[in-house]
Amino acid sequence: MPGFLASLLLPVLMTMAMRFRKKSRLRGVAEEVGGEPGVTRRNQRFPALVETPWEGATTLAALFEQACEKYADQPLLGTRTLISVESEAGPDGRSLEKVTLGPYVWISYGQAFEKVKLFSSGLLEFGHVKEEKIALFAETRAEWLIALQACFRNNITVVTIYASLGEDALAHSLNETEVTTVICDRKQLKKLIDLGESLETVRRVVYMDDDSDKSTLAACAWQLESFSNIEKLGKGSTAQAHFPNASDIAVIMYTSGSTGLPKGVIMSHRNIVATIAGVMTVVADISPKDVYIAYLPLAHILELTAETTMCAAGVAIGYGSPLTLTDTSSKIKKGTKGDVGELKPTLMTAVPAILDRVRDGVRRTVEAKGGLAKRLFQTAYRRRLGAVEGSWLGAWGLERVLWNAVVFKNVKRVLGGRLRGMLSGGAPLSGDTQRFINICLGVPIAQGYGLTETCAGATFSEWDDTSVGRVGPPVPHCYVKLVDWEAGGYLASDKPLPRGEIVIGGPSVTIGYFKNQAKTDEVYKTDENGLRWFYTGDIGQFHPDGCLEIVDRKKDIVKLQHGEYISLGKIEAALVVSPYVDSIMAHADPFHNFCVALIVPSQTALENWAKRVGQEYNDYADLCQKEESIKEILKSISQTAKQARLQKSEIPSKIKLLPDPWTPETGLVTAALKIKRENIRKAFAEDLKKLYQ
Ligand SMILES: *[C@@H]1O[C@H](CO)[C@@H](O)[C@H](O)[C@H]1NC(C)=O
Ligand SMILES: *[C@@H]1O[C@H](CO)[C@@H](O)[C@H](O)[C@H]1NC(C)=O
Ligand SMILES: *[C@@H]1O[C@H](CO)[C@@H](O)[C@H](O)[C@H]1NC(C)=O
C-alpha cells in the first residue's frame, strides 16, 4: 500500500476501531422467571428457551435418523488405520509403545445409519431385553457412538462409566443400575474379567476389538460376542425400531463424586436434545464443511454433547486419542503424523490441561530455536497481546495478517492449521493460556461452564469476546440465576455486580441422581411453572453485558486445575491434629494444582521448638514470620498429612503463620469454633494471594 494512502486511511481506521471497542455488546439480558428470587439472565439473542434443533427432533433417536437422511452422503465417522506398533526404550529404560497410524478411513452418515440399525437389532437377537440397561465402557471411538445410537433406537437406557474410575466404582455402577449387557473395548474387558463374579447382574458382554484376548474368559458365565458379529446377527432380524419419547431416560452417567462412590446422573432425551439445540447456536456457522477431532472421553458429558451436536449438524467426526493427538504426542512414532496433523480439524473441544500442554509445547519449541526466531516470536506476541487487550492496533487487520504469515502460521500447524474454533470446558481455563491460544493459533475459544447435572454447557463465552476469566452468557437453552447465599455473604443485591449461588434452569436440567432421592431433593427444585432448576454450589457474578464469572465455590470441595477434587474440610480435619496447629484453613485456587493453608500455630509448641533449636526472634509475631518456623511447621504437617493418607495435592505446598488466635469475637470462627471460610478468606485475601505468587 503506498505510504500516503496509508496515512490517509489510518485515522479513519483508528476512529472506527475505537468506536467498535467502546460499544461492549450485550450478551445476556434480564428475565422474569419463577422459583426462588434472584437475578436471572437469558441469552440475548433468543427470547424463548430453545428446546430442539428443529421441529420433530425431540429425541436423540429421531434427531440421529433425521440427520442421517439429511446428510446421507456426507462423511460422519473417521478412524485411522493402524500401520504398525513398535516398542522403543524410553528415557527411564521402560519400553514405550509407539504407533504409526495411516490416513482416516470414513463412513458416511448413510452408512453409519445402516450400522446403527443392524447393531440395534443385533442386540435384541443376542438376547438383550429392551427394558434392561446396557453399559458402555470403552475409550472414545466410532463404535462407541454407533452403540449409543443403536441403544436409543430401541429405547434402551445407556449407563456410561468413566474409564478411569476404580474397580469398586465400576462394580458399584453396574450393580446399582442392574446392567445386563456391557459393551467394552479390549482394555476394559480385562477389568471386567478381573471383577468377574462380583458383577451379579451382567449376562452378556460385547467386545469391540475382534482380536481381544478371550482365553481367560472361559471362566466367566457370560454370553460373549464381538461387535462385528452383533451387526451380523442384526442382518437376519425383522424387529422394528422402538423409539423412546422425549421424557424417557437416555443415559445414566456416572461421574466421580468428590467423596465416596460415584453418582449416576439421570438424563432424558429431552435434556440432551435441548443442550444440542443450544450448543448448535454457540458454534458459529456450524455445517457439513466442518471437521471435528474427537479424543476426549465420551463417558464425559462435554464430549458426549459435543459429538451428538456434531452429528446433528452434518459435521465429519475423526477419532483420535490424547496420546496420539499431535506429531509430538507420546505414542506417535517420531517423524509420523499425529491425529490433528492427519485430520486437519476445523473444530475441537479441549480441557484446560490439554491446552496448557499445547502452550508449553509451543514455548519450548520457541526457546529451543532461540536467536532471531525467538525474538521475532516475542515481538509478535507482544504486539498481538497489546492488540487484543484493547490498543487501537487491534482492529488494524494488516499487522495481524503480517504476523500470522511470518510467525504464527507454523504454530497453527501444531493443531493441523485449519482450526477455526474451540470449545473448552471441564475446569476453569487460566487467562494466560486462553490468551496464548487466542494469539498463537488465532483461534477463538468458547469457554463453557456447566455440570453433568445440567447436561454440560449452561454458559459459553462467545467467539468474538476477547476478555479472559469469564464464561459467557447463558446458552439459549437455559436460564442462569444468582440467588442469595447469606452465610457466605454473596447477595443478588451486591454492588457493583450482583452475586450469589449459581442456579441453572431449563429443559437441559437433568432428572436427578439414580436411586438417591435425598440428594436429588437437596439440589434440584421444580418451580411453580414446572421449570426445573439445579443448585450448583458455585458462586458467580454477572457482568453488565450479561456474562457470568465464577468467583467462588459454596462447597468445601475444590476442583484443581487438572480436574482432581480436593476437600478443604478433609485436609483441615487431618492437619488440625498436628501439635503445631491450633487453627487451620486450607485454601485452593482452581487455577492451580496445589493447595495452601493459613495456620494459627500453637504458641507454646512453636516457642518450645524455637528454644530447643536456638532460633532467635524479637516477639511471637516475628517468630511466625521466620522462614525457619514456616519450614519446621510445613515439615511437621506434611508428616501428619501422610499419616492421614492425604493425596499429594491435598498437602499444602505453602503456608502462612498467623500469630493472633481465631476467636468467635474476631468473626473468623463460629461459637463452636468452626471456621467461617468466607470471612477468613476476606480477612486474609492478601496473604492468600501472596501464597500463590
Ligand atoms: C421406554 O422405556 C422405558 C423403560 O423401560 C419405559 O418406561 C417407557 O415407557 C418406554 N417408552 C416408550 C415410548 O415405550
Ligand atoms: C449389588 O447389589 C446388591 C443389592 O442390590 C447387593 O446385595 C450386592 O452386595 C451388590 N454387589 C456389589 C458388588 O456391590
Ligand atoms: C412417553 O411414554 C410414556 C410411557 O409409555 C407415556 O406414558 C407418555 O405419555 C409418553 N409421552 C409422550 C409425550 O408421548
Does the pLDDT at position 113 exceed 50? Answer: yes
As a whole-number percent, the residues of the chain with pLDDT over 70 amount to 89
Residue 18 pLDDT level (bands cut at 50, 70, 90): very low
As a whole-number percent, the residues of the chain with pLDDT over 90 amount to 59
* CB of 197 shorter than 6 A to ligand 2: no
Name which residue sits closest to atom 9 of ligand 3, judged by CA.
Answer: 245
Mean pLDDT value of segment 678-688: 90
- Look up the pTM and report it: 0.79
Q: Which atom of ligand 2 is nearest to the CA of 175?
A: 1
What's the gap in Å between 247 CA and the centre of ligand 3? 7
Q: How far apart are CA 586 and CA 609, in angstroms?
A: 24
Q: Which atom of ligand 1 is nearest to the CA of 244?
A: 13
Residue 554 pLDDT level (bands cut at 50, 70, 90): confident
Q: What is the pLDDT of residue 459?
A: 96
Structural domains of the chain, with CATH: 38-51+352-417+419-553 (2.30.38.10), 71-85+98-243+283-318 (3.40.50.12780), 562-691 (3.30.300.30)
Q: What is the pLDDT of residue 202?
A: 94
Q: Which ligand lies nearest the alpha carbon of 156?
A: 1
What's the gap in Å between 188 CA and the centre of ligand 2? 21
Q: Which ligand lies nearest the alpha carbon of 247?
A: 3
Does the pLDDT at position 63 exceed 90? Answer: yes
Residue 560 pLDDT level (bands cut at 50, 70, 90): confident
Specify the range with the lowest mean pLDDT, choosing from 114-118, 323-327, 352-356.
352-356
With a CB cutoff of 8 Å and minimum separation 6, the contacts of 237 are 121, 122, 124, 125
* CB of 131 shorter than 6 A to ligand 1: yes
pLDDT tens-digit readout, 226-284: 999 999 999 988 889 999 999 999 999 998 654 457 889 999 999 999 999 999 998 88
Q: Which ligand lies nearest the alpha carbon of 155?
A: 1
What's the gap in Å between 50 CA and the centre of ligand 3? 21
Q: Which ligand lies nearest the alpha carbon of 198?
A: 2
With a CB cutoff of 8 Å and minimum separation 6, the contacts of 435 are 385, 388, 468
Q: Which ligand lies nearest the alpha carbon of 167?
A: 2
Do the Cβ atoms of 414 and 358 come closer than 8 Å? yes
Q: What is the pLDDT of residue 183?
A: 97
What's the gap in Å between 175 CA and the centre of ligand 2? 6
Residue type, 324: T
Per-residue cell: 564: 482432581
Q: Note the Cα 66 to chain centre separation in Å.
A: 29
pLDDT tens-digit readout, 573-606: 789 878 899 899 999 998 898 999 999 999 989 9
- Find the DSSP H helices in 83-208: 109-125, 142-153, 167-176, 186-195
What's the gap in Å between 266 CA and the centre of ligand 2? 20
Mean pLDDT value of segment 147-153: 98
* CB of 244 shorter than 6 A to ligand 1: yes
- For residue 42, the SS3 value is strand
User: Which of 161, 167, 168, 175 for mutating ligand 2's site (highest number of atoms within 8 Å of CB)?
Assistant: 175
* CB of 198 shorter than 6 A to ligand 2: yes
What's the gap in Å between 59 CA and the centre of ligand 3? 12
Residue 134 pLDDT level (bands cut at 50, 70, 90): very high
Specify the range with the lowest mean pLDDT, choosing from 143-152, 573-582, 684-693.
573-582
Per-residue cell: 504: 441453572
Does the pLDDT at position 407 exceed 80? Answer: no
Mean pLDDT value of segment 180-200: 89
Do the Cβ atoms of 224 and 130 come closer than 8 Å? no
Residue 410 pLDDT level (bands cut at 50, 70, 90): confident
Q: What is the pLDDT of residue 20?
A: 46
User: Which of 155, 180, 511 for mutating ligand 1's site (highest number of atoms within 8 Å of CB)?
Assistant: 155
Residue 96 pLDDT level (bands cut at 50, 70, 90): confident
Specify the range with the lowest mean pLDDT, choosing from 165-174, 233-242, 372-381, 551-560.
551-560
pLDDT tens-digit readout, 613-649: 999 999 999 999 999 999 999 999 999 999 888 888 8
Q: What is the pLDDT of residue 545?
A: 95
Name which residue sits closest to atom 8 of ligand 2, judged by CA.
Answer: 175
What's the gap in Å between 245 CA and the centre of ligand 3? 6
Q: What is the pLDDT of residue 659?
A: 94
Does the pLDDT at position 373 exceed 60? Answer: yes
Name which residue sits closest to atom 10 of ligand 3, judged by CA.
Answer: 245
Does the pLDDT at position 391 exceed 60? Answer: no
User: Which of 170, 200, 202, 261 for mutating ligand 2's site (highest number of atoms within 8 Å of CB)?
Assistant: 200
Q: How far apart are CA 651 and CA 657, in angstroms?
A: 16
Residue type, 656: K
What's the gap in Å between 246 CA and the centre of ligand 3? 8
User: Which of 247, 249, 273 for mutating ligand 3's site (highest number of atoms within 8 Å of CB)?
Assistant: 247
Mean pLDDT value of segment 155-183: 90
* CB of 171 shorter than 6 A to ligand 2: yes
Mean pLDDT value of segment 406-411: 74
Q: Which atom of ligand 1 is nearest to the CA of 156?
A: 2
Higher pLDDT, 408 or 88: 88
Q: How far apart are CA 78 and CA 342, in angstroms?
A: 11
Q: How far apart are CA 433 and CA 352, in angstroms?
A: 8
Taking Cα atoms as reference points, which of 97, 77, 480, 112 lies closest to residue 278?
480
Does the pLDDT at position 24 exceed 80? Answer: no
Task: Please state, in angstroms and as integers, the Cα–Cα distance from residue 36 to each residue in 367, 505, 526, 586, following that order.
Answer: 54, 11, 10, 32
Output the average pLDDT for the chain: 87
Q: What is the pLDDT of residue 145?
A: 98
Does the pLDDT at position 528 exceed 90? Answer: yes
Q: Which atom of ligand 2 is nearest to the CA of 199?
A: 13
* Residue ranges around ligand 3 (CB below 6 Å): 245, 247
Residue 6 pLDDT level (bands cut at 50, 70, 90): very low
Q: How far apart are CA 586 and CA 672, in angstroms?
A: 19
For 665, other C-beta atoms within 10 Å of its C-beta total: 7
For 648, other C-beta atoms within 10 Å of its C-beta total: 12
Q: What is the pLDDT of residue 563?
A: 73
Does the pLDDT at position 213 exceed 60? Answer: yes
Residue 555 pLDDT level (bands cut at 50, 70, 90): low
Name which residue sits closest to atom 10 of ligand 2, judged by CA.
Answer: 175
Q: How far apart are CA 243 and CA 392, in angstroms?
A: 56
* CB of 155 shorter than 6 A to ligand 1: yes
Per-residue cell: 78: 473417521
